[in-house]
Structure 1
């Protein structure tokens, strides 16, 4: 490639190792991806059809599951295809732009939804008598719409700024998808200022959505500790446990990947953290929100019994 031309397509190195290792990784990641799709689809269906789950908490959970399905489907199928085929996988510049925009936009939307879920738990635990008034259906719908719009529009400039550079060092990305950090490494231009702005935006989005979560749970913890009975404290905590678990896992991974002044970190580091974000965390989420939530477990058991009775007939 000429030193003064920009890449029109990129080659993804994917994972190193033998073909046997690739086949093993394919089997593992395909299993994880299948469980992710089925688990989140079950949550979406059960939240939609079961009247016991017609509340703001589960309304947000349904949208979170939709985001998880979309987010993993942008990354994982291409990664699986690359594991099956020998050699490097190619992706066009247009497809790369679309992929970067979609995973950043959906990820940002997810952070906004998670923040809204924390506020919802705060209102439910700390202001239970006013919960139905504050968290009414119209408010929830507008919160979700605002989250989606914020996610889509906030990532337009970062993606535009990333692809304004000339990628003339190489067209080979040492990753299994179009990772923004690896793209910046291929640029012959000075990316320092853009990387710093991207760092500030990542801080604003991730820490900004984490702040209401921290504040909400601070109030929740103090409210729970003041409850007179152990059963009341246990019930209040159980409604928040799954959300807390998701926050720790999801935010922890993204802080390691995006909130750093220098975006062009080592490829192997990027791959490991990306696997946590796009493969492991979405795989765990259906279990987190079902096994740790009594209402969802009851709804699942009852609907499974109902389905079994229908099949017997």
Structure 2
């Protein structure tokens, strides 16, 4: 990296007219604000309500924290770039830092979704032993393991990326620092690092997806054995939110990370990236909140408490 003649990159972003750019900026700013507020609300609810001090909701609050980090790495920079007419620039160090933190959050999200699927598997397939198997302590340990594995998985491509030489051009055909667009600009031999990145992508994405699929195969098999229709519906509803989030998340991620190569054009990927970076994080808290009765009750209790405090101050 020290031998590179390039000191900064130009992010081409989305090709938009002035009027469209302003409209997109307003929409994205609104979505980002709702994303932060909704996920912070879930964290506050889980922390302040003793009824929610259980593995399922600890995982949900952890997932919300992850979504806040996930969007904070990319969206503020994108909003800043949209607010200016001139092409956006970012230093080489800043670009690598953004990519590494984004990769860390993305990898952790895969593993957290697996743990959430495992939690539902234990709760439905072994309901009598759930309290002894999936304790709060075990849940927190699993979350920490997810972060540790993610850090280790990011270190390898991050090391090789830091060794790349960039001689120019310095224009990244994306709105944030992504791996494949960066490789396309390097004048180093990127064959080995491309193989490493693709291998890790396949291992993490496909491996986690298979773990989730196995969990839900066992869950559905257990649900089918429930005699009453009401029992089946009630049991399945406890994992429907997670399954919806998994479907949305993996539908977009697979279309990007298991297809492209260095020679691929990124126009379609940019559009899909907007969806899973901006739209998906705001959908997740909404999906969980609308489908979870305890969360809805917790919101009502919090609103009542705030009103009472405001009334007492008056």
TM-score by length of 1: 0.95
Post-superposition Cα deviations, 1:178-206, rounded to whole Å, max 9, x if no partner, equal 11111111122332332122111001111
- Which is worse superposed, 164-173 or 81-90? 164-173
Instruction: Give how far 1:95 is off.
Output: 0.7
The question of whether the paired residues in 2 share the 8 Å contact of 1:196 and 1:262 is answered with no
1:155 counterpart SS class: helix
Q: Is the 8 A contact 1:184 1:264 kept in 2?
A: no
Could you list the per-position Cα deviations for residues 192-231 of structure 1 after superposition, in whole angstroms to 9, with x for gaps in the alignment? 3321221110011111111221111001111111112222
* CA-CA distance at 1:20 after TM superposition: 1.5
Aligned position for 2:154: 155
Instruction: Answer with 120-129 or 81-90: which moved more.
Output: 81-90
Q: What is the match of residue 277 of structure 1?
A: 276
Corresponding position of 2:90: 91
For residues 206 and 177 of structure 1, what CA distance do their matches in structure 2 show?
Answer: 21
Which residue of 2 is the match for residue 173 of structure 1? 172
**Which residues in structure 2 correspond to 1:1-313 (within 5 Å)?**
5-260=4-259, 262-313=261-312
Distance 1:197 1:285 in 2: 31
Give me the whole-angstrom Cα distance separating, in 2, the residues matched to 1:248 and 1:287. Answer: 15
Q: Deviations for 1:145-185, whole angstroms, at most 9, x for unmatched residues?
A: 11111111210111221232222241111211111111111
Find the aligned partners of 2:260 and 2:28 in 1 and give their Cα distance: 31
Measured in 1, the distance between the counterparts of 2:77 and 2:139 equals 34
Residue deviations 1:116-158, cap 9 Å, x none?
Answer: 0000000000100000100012211210111111111210111
SS of aligned partner of 1:128? coil
2:256, 2:154 → 1: CA distance?
Answer: 16
Q: How far apart in 1 are the matches of 2:148 and 2:126?
A: 28
- Whether contact under 8 Å (2:6, 2:168) holds in the other structure is no
- How far apart are residue 264 of structure 1 and its match? 4.5
What is the TM-score with the length of structure 2 in the denominator? 0.95
Deviations 1:59-115 (A, max 9, x none): 011111001001101100010010111111111111111101000011111111110
Name the stretch that deviates more: 302-311 or 231-240: 302-311
> 1:56 Cα deviation (Å)?
0.5
Detail structure 1 runs of 4+ shifted over 4 Å in the superposition.
none
> Would you say the 8 A contact 2:12–2:88 is kept in 1?
yes
Q: 1:267-292: per-residue Cα shift (whole Å, max 9, x none)?
A: 21221121112101001111011011
- 2:205–2:254 CA contact under 8 A, matched in 1: yes
Equivalent position SS for 1:260: coil
**Per-residue CA distance 1:228-260 (angstroms, 9 max, x = gap):** 222221111111010000100111111111123
2:47 & 2:206 partners in 1: Cα distance?
31
Unpaired segments of 5 or more residues in structure 1?
none
2:306 and 2:230 map into 1 onto residues whose CA distance is 33
Q: Give the secondary-structure state (helix, strand or coil) at the position aligned to 2:89.
A: strand
